[in-house]
Structure 1
Amino acid sequence: NLGEMIARENIEKGHSMGIEQGQKLERITLIKNMTESLQCSMQRAMDVLKLTAGERKDVEEYFKS
């Protein structure tokens, strides 16, 4: 039972991490598309999407690299 419980917890953690990564990639794609199609700044695109401070940090870190 303990082994099954640990395995289940790890699966749930991995699943939520996968969802989180997918959401980050989706935000980055949206920002990139907006800046190119609408010819607006990254900051303006993030304002329009009403990103949180943490989400903004993720996007900014991606575009810095």
Structure 2
Amino acid sequence: ENIEKGHSMGLEQGQKLERKKKNIELITNLMNSLSISFSKAVELLKVSEDEVLEIKKYFEA
């Protein structure tokens, strides 16, 4: 049972990481193509607030 939970959590984290990478790519492309700000890009893409906070760290680095 614990192994299944661990496996499930691992898959979930992997999916979350992939979604984050994809969102970063989409945001970057949108910002470059339309010459818009990070805030406007995430608004247009309807990225959740939680994800915005995580992704924003990437853009500030």
TM-score relative to the length of structure 1: 0.85
Instruction: Find runs of 4+ consecutive structure 1 residues off by over 4 angstroms.
Output: none
2:38 alignment partner in structure 1? 42
Larger Rg: 1
Deviation at 1:38, TM superposition (A): 1.3
Unaligned runs of at least 5 residues, structure 2: none
Is the counterpart of residue 51 in structure 1 residue 47 in structure 2?
yes
When the two structures are aligned, how many residues end up with a matched partner? 61
1:12 alignment partner in structure 2? 8
TM-score relative to the length of structure 2: 0.89
Q: CA RMSD in A?
A: 0.9
